[in-house]
Amino acid sequence: MPELPDVETYRRYLASKVLHKKVADVEIKDKLIVRSSEMSIRSIRGKRFKSTARHGKHCFLELSGGGFLALHFGMTGSVEYRGSGKVSSEHVRLVFSFSGGGVLAFIDMRRLGRVRVIKSIQDFVTKNHLGPDALSVGRKDFERMIRSRKEMIKSLLMDQGQIAGLGNIYCDEILYHSGTNPRKSASKLDSSEIGRIYNSMKKVLKTAIDKRTDPERMPRNYLLRRRGKGASCGFDGGKIERVKIGGRSSYYCTTHQLN
């Protein structure tokens, strides 16, 4: 479930579990997810994780001696630390074991995740054409970006090259809160509506991170708790409908998002 709030939750989890521990061994259980040389991944042996960072849906662990381990979770990726014993999942793809005990596993059922070693986050962001992080982008830049495009607002928000971090679930959530039809052309949004989208984006992301993306803890009226057959809007009881946008299922309220 890895969009920005999930990845931020993983980042905090990693910061609390694996910092400053010495990596005693690295086990690559699935070569498919390793997207830099196996050598570079193996060379983490003997190093420590110094700090954590995140940009959009990418999580970074700084390595002692330079460089970063970059994690991307695809559709089903996650990380799990065990102080003792083994990680039980049958989809463990990569395992770091620490001196003095403990293991960190990268788990990914669908194998769409990617793990690599990089030199600098800045270069990585540039090379991968990532836009500014959705949590740090400023209102002015956000509005300029929206106004420069004609595509459907949802597709635009999903585009990692424009803003990094938003995926299918949270784009729907944000537009549901701002009362914007997901199919509306970005260039047709006026300043006040862009402001509503911007504010919804920040609020939704912060709420999700605060609740650690646990659906049970999220507010009842959130759309992500109402995806599915015959659901009704948490604001006005309107009918929630599903349509395809950019090939992805999109849910919206046929009452307050009709514009």
Site residues (vs DNA, CB under 7 A): 1-3, 5-6, 32, 56-57, 72, 74-75, 90-91, 109-112, 128, 149-152, 155, 158, 160, 167-169, 185-187, 213, 215, 227, 246-249
Between residues 82 and 116, which has the closer beta carbon with respect to DNA?
Answer: 116
Contact 207, 199 (CB under 8 A): no
Q: Please say whether the dihedral angle defined by the alpha carbons of residues 219, 222, 228 and 230, taken in this order, is positive or negative.
A: positive
Q: How far is the CB of 187 from DNA (least distance, A)?
A: 7
State the minimum distance, in angstroms, from the CB of residue 168 to DNA.
3
Please check whether residue 38 is in contact with residue 28, taking contact to mean a CB–CB distance below 8 angstroms.
yes
Is 2 designated active site?
yes
127 catalytic, yes or no?
no
**Which is closer to DNA, CB of 48 or CB of 133?**
133
- Min dist CB 255 to DNA, Å, is 21
Does the annotation count 226 as an active-site position? no
Sign of CA dihedral 209, 215, 220, 222: positive
Catalytic annotation present for 3: yes
Catalytic choice (21, 54, 57, 93) = 57
Catalytic residue selected from 2, 5, 132, 182:
2
Cβ neighbors of 174 (< 8 A, separation 6 or more) are 157, 166, 197, 200, 201, 204
Give the residue with the Cβ less far from DNA, 71 or 158. 158
Catalytic positions are 2-3, 57, 248
